[in-house]
Amino acid sequence: MADLTIMVAPNGARKGRADHPHLPITPDELADEAFACQQAGAGAIHLHVRDDQDKHTLDAARYRAATEAVRKRVGPEMVVQITTEAIGLFTPQQQIDVVRAVRPEAVSIAPKELAPDASAEAAAKDLYHWAHDELIAVQHIIYAADEFDRFLDLVVRGIVPGKRHSLIFPLGRYAAGQESDPAELIPFVAKVREQGGVDRFPWWVCAFGAAETPSLVAAAALGGHCRIGFENSFLNADGSRAENNAARVADLQASLRGISRPRSSRAQALHALGKPD
């Protein structure tokens, strides 16, 4: 089984300090959190940035500032991934614009947001092929098993290039009563195995709510990688409220002790996040 990468998602697009007083928002706060999480065992960070009202934004200058602050604090090893998550606020073109402007080493993109219909596919294709040529690690957010089928269609038709594609499966949702359950992994893992396994589709899981830790342990046991943090849950495995994201990473590390998967290198993390060969 491949070496394991743990990525921290420290803030997300929706939560604020009213939800947790230690939610990191500013570039310096994100940098300090990245360093603490790196020390706890995280090899990558998933960045969201905020505007002056602490609202989710796809502002390229803010992404560059956050990336620079994190890189200065953590050094060269930790992978920094941005996201184009739209949450109903940003158009496909705005998602495209931020990736081209930032030119990140890694990015997560939801195909259903970037190419919601046939009319958006040509522009999506241009971005995907440009990112592939630029050796940017693209991770595809797949929210449901039927979205996997549509993603495969995009690959078959050449809209998404390459022979290997990184996927992340969010379990549960933000909405009340839609918390994650490790059993949600079953259809996703079945799809991966049907389509060539982890060599073709290295996959990740993030999970909302109290079952975040057991969901990620299940993912690691099945060959996936783990994304953890305040974007998805504030709760440790024992139900206690974590003080910060580093505590969540440490809690997961403790829960993974029975699974024999060494910590990945930077190169392995980028490979698992979809960097073209």
What CATH number does residue 64 fall under? 3.20.20.70
Q: Tell whether 106 is covered by a domain.
A: yes
Helices (H), the chain: 27-40, 60-74, 92-102, 111-114, 121-133, 145-156, 185-194, 212-221, 245-255, 266-272
Residue 11 has pLDDT above 60, yes or no: yes
Q: Tell whether 277 is covered by a domain.
A: no
Calculate mean pLDDT across residues 180-185. 91
Calculate mean pLDDT across residues 183-208. 95
pLDDT band of 173, cuts 50, 70, 90: confident
Residue 235 has pLDDT above 90, yes or no: yes
Residue 118 phi, psi dihedral angles, 5° rounding = -60, -30
pLDDT band of 172, cuts 50, 70, 90: confident
Q: Tell whether 196 is covered by a domain.
A: yes
- Comparing CA positions, the residue from 89, 79, 84, 71 lying closest to residue 27 is 71
Helix (H) or strand (E) holding 169, with range, is: strand 166-171
pLDDT band of 223, cuts 50, 70, 90: very high
Calculate mean pLDDT across residues 109-115. 97
Report the percent of the chain where pLDDT is more than 70: 98
Q: Tell whether 266 is covered by a domain.
A: yes
Q: Tell whether 20 is covered by a domain.
A: yes
**Token pair for 204:** 């990740």
Q: Which domain holds residue 65?
A: 6-272
Cα–Cα distance for residue pair 130/256, rounded to 1 Å: 37
Cα–Cα distance for residue pair 122/110, rounded to 1 Å: 16
What pLDDT, on a 0 to 100 scale, did the predictor assign at position 179? 79
Q: What's the structural domain count of the chain?
A: 1
What pLDDT, on a 0 to 100 scale, did the predictor assign at position 123? 98
What is the per-residue pLDDT across 47-95, written as a single tens digit (0 to 9) for each?
999 999 999 999 999 999 999 999 999 999 999 999 999 999 999 999 9
Q: Tell whether 1 is covered by a domain.
A: no
- Specify whether the CB–CB gap between 84 and 114 falls below 8 A: yes
What pLDDT, on a 0 to 100 scale, did the predictor assign at position 174? 63
Tell the burial category of 267 from Cβ atoms under 10 Å away from its Cβ (0-12, 13-18, 19+). exposed
